[in-house]
Each structure stands twice: as C-alpha cells, then as structure tokens.
A = this chain, B = another copy of it.
C-alpha cells in the first residue's frame, strides 16, 4: 500500500537527541503542523477545534532503519534488557509508523500555508512527515485503568536540573519551561551514564550541553547552533 505524507511538523528539535521518549511528557513543548498544498482546505478541519487532543500518525523518517528487528533494547530500561519490538514504540519495526497524542492548542488560518495546527507536547523531530491526523476520542482512546508494563515502571525517572541564570538567559523566554522539561526527562542518548561526559543536543536553534552526575543534570553551555 502506498502512503503519502499529508504534511509535516515543525518542532524545536533539529535532531533526534533530546526528544522526549513519549508524547505529552513535556507539555510546554510547542510545535506546528503544516499541510501539503492539496490539504490546505479549512473544510477538512471543520470541527477539529472541538477536540482538546489529537493523534498524529507519522513516519519514522530519520531513524537508521535498515530492517525490522524482532527484539530491541528500550532506552528506559537502561539499554541492556531486550524486549520484543511490538512491545515497544521503537522505530525498528516492520512499518515505520509513529503514533503520538498531542494537545491541540489552536488552528490558525495562515495566509500562505492555510490551516496550521498549533500543538503541545509533541515528541517529534523537526520536519517529520505527518501521515494522518485523527481526533482524540476520550471514550474510546482513554483507558486510565490500562496496565503499562515495563514502560510505566520507569515513568518517574526524572533528573534534577541545574540551569545557571546566565545560560538560561540565552534561551528565548517562552521556551525556557519546555527546555527544563526536556532536561528533567533525561535527554542523554540511550545506554550512556558517564559522569565525566559532556552531552549535547539541539533545541530551538541552540546547542545545549550538559553533564549528569547522580541524578543531577547541570547545563554547562548554551551556544547558537552552527
């Protein structure tokens, strides 16, 4: 079956490092969904503003994904325990389809781009192709009683964040809370825990560098991205 993108998302993450590992974990993260020319039709979105949340179905476009793997090592399990790929949201799956629930903040009618969706809490890289938008229907989609297995047991692994004032000033004011949320969620690449190492990732046109020691993340540098 041939599937084509209907649009793409703009976020503050130029690369995959730093992106929260599920949608909704950092509610302050803002993103916008822009559509291909043929879907720039206000009619196609009529009524969507009644929903507070939407599903993004998207393409894992940037993962080095030569082929599917029966088992993967979820980062949240420290990278040394293997689980079946269908028991995870890993990109190494047969079809490179991603699924994210985001808050729909507003629908803008942009003079050039037509309907643009402003969303919050997206765990997607900048430029990720969007394959479908669906309303979040709470009576079908929200199952608060669900058991989340190994994915749930690690949801509380938060880091304390030390972000010196002179470095925070380099971050646009309306993006500071989002950055703090991203840092608290531990943006280190999987499998690494080296207190001497300086890690870094791109965010909102900046390179953010930090160290992690015993549950404390300390930002040591914030510089414009080259």
A-to-B contact residues, CB < 8 Å:
1-6, 22-25, 39, 41-48, 50-53, 55, 57, 59, 70-71, 82-89, 93-97, 99-101, 131-152, 155
B residues in contact with A151, CB < 8 Å: 51, 135, 137, 139
Q: Which residue of B lies closest to A5 (CB)?
A: B1
Q: Could you say which of B5, B70, B88, B147 contacts A41, with CB atoms under 8 Å apart?
A: B70
Contact A43 B84 (CB under 8 A): yes
Interface of A is mostly: mixed
Contact A44 B142 (CB under 8 A): no
B residues in contact with A146, CB < 8 Å: 51-53, 136, 138, 141-142
Contact A83 B47 (CB under 8 A): yes
B residues in contact with A88, CB < 8 Å: 47, 135
Contact A142 B139 (CB under 8 A): no
Given contacts A39-B94, A70-B43, A95-B132, contact A143 B6 (CB under 8 A): no
Given contacts A1-B3, A87-B45, contact A137 B150 (CB under 8 A): no
B residues in contact with A22, CB < 8 Å: 137, 139-140
Could you list some 29 contacts between A and B, CB below 8 A? A1-B5, A4-B94, A6-B94, A44-B71, A44-B84, A48-B86, A50-B87, A51-B87, A51-B146, A52-B143, A52-B145, A52-B147, A53-B143, A57-B57, A57-B97, A86-B133, A89-B135, A97-B131, A99-B99, A100-B140, A101-B140, A135-B151, A136-B143, A137-B151, A137-B152, A138-B152, A139-B151, A139-B152, A142-B144
